[in-house]
Amino acid sequence: MILHDLISFDILRVIWWALLGVLLIGFALTDGFDLGVGALLPFVGKSDTERRVIINTIGPVWEGNQVWFILGGGAIFAAWPPLYAVSFSGFYLAMFLVLAALILRPVGFKYRSKRESATWRTTWDWALFVGGAVPALIFGVAVGNVLQGVPFYLTPDMLMPMYEGNSIMKLLGLLNPYALLAGVVSLSMLLMHGSAWLGLKTEGVIADRARRIGSIAGIVAALSYALAGLWLAFGIEGYQIVGEVVKDGPSNPLFSEVVRGGSWMDAYAIRPWIAVAPIMGFVGIALAVMGLRAGREVSTLLWSKLAIFGIISSVGLTMFPFILPSTVDPSSSLTVWDSSSSHLTLFVMLVCAVIFMPLILAYTSWVYKVLWGKVAEDDVTQNSQSY
């Protein structure tokens, strides 16, 4: 028996679908509070020293947290090549905006304290705000568009995806009402998460302001998430595979027959257990908001993480087995069963993941243990190495 035959092709596809979700959730759980803190910076920090304290709560860890983002992109490239090709082509301008915003973060950290000028530092503070708020919003907008479907189709030879409209029209098309609502869910969720982090890592007026804003953000996240769910249930058509589903067949989406119809929420009738995901989302938000108002620290951050885990996983579980549906040609829609790499590729990647992911988790845990504790004003005013 060939070694990679120990795990069947269909099982490997589901494993890598789940691992992709783990990587994306891992990014949201870790770098998500970095984005939230950046978006909160101009509003929570009123003086230069306070803003330096806020920046130094994430300064030592943000680069390591982006490992999950890089791993997620690499996993899409290697495990789901059609998804990589279609999404990176169709969402090119949106991704360019995200990357441009993310570039502002290291530049802002590096240059903010180079001059004593208040105007100079305030400018970079707003650059850090953009570096946090824009990605948080655009990631949610992308998810909202995925749930609605993307206007692409595959050529018969599978050489390239084709899109309707020019680049500007595609970008404007992404900014539709439902996608913007999903962006509000994402942004408010990460603002709550960033507030929970600041409540853990700071003290005094900074922590108090962060908790007040985080409580409001949590309420907005819960209301917008509920509204997005109702809209998805009653206002957006779902997708269905008709005919026999070949789970271990070739990776060619055009071999499957997909039609639009019904609702994405039909998945909850077929697999009732997936309701645990949105329940975790709402419970996590409620307990995080209560923790922020009560001034609790570690538990609040954990509840915020539970909310993020539930909200993001609810999207994947609701759509399964679809990964990226097409509004132009439903049969071009990408699913778990027909858009992966080969059996051998997925197996080799799984072996690498089993070896290296525990090392990444162990190292990350060690870093957070070393950096445990609050950042006080004396830490930034008396340390020449701080931001």
Q: Which residues of 305-327 are buried (b: 16+ CB within 10 A; e: fewer)?
A: bbbbbbbbbbbbbbbbbbbbbbb
Evaluate if residue 165 carries a pLDDT over 70: no
Indicate the DSSP class of residue 46: -
pLDDT (tens digit per residue) in 41-81: 999 999 988 999 999 999 888 888 888 888 888 899 899 98
pTM, two decimals, is 0.92
**CA-based diameter of the chain, in Å?**
69
Phi, then psi, of 238 in degrees rounded to 5: -95, -170
What pLDDT is stored for residue 154 in this prediction? 81
Phi, then psi, of 271 in degrees rounded to 5: -130, 80
CB-based burial label for 374 (10 Å; 0-12, 13-18, 19+): middle
What pLDDT is stored for residue 147 in this prediction? 94
pLDDT (tens digit per residue) in 93-140: 888 889 999 999 889 888 888 888 889 999 999 999 999 999 999 999
Q: How far is CA 4 from CA 18, 74, 346, 348, 350, in A?
A: 19, 21, 9, 8, 10
More confident call, 304 vs 175:
304
Give the containing element (helix H, strand E) for 239: strand 237-242
What pLDDT is stored for residue 338 in this prediction? 87
What pLDDT is stored for residue 55 in this prediction? 92
Query: What residue segments make up the domains of the chain, in order of their start?
Result: 3-381
Q: Cα(305)–Cα(30) distance, rounded to whole angstroms?
A: 9
What pLDDT is stored for residue 131 in this prediction? 93
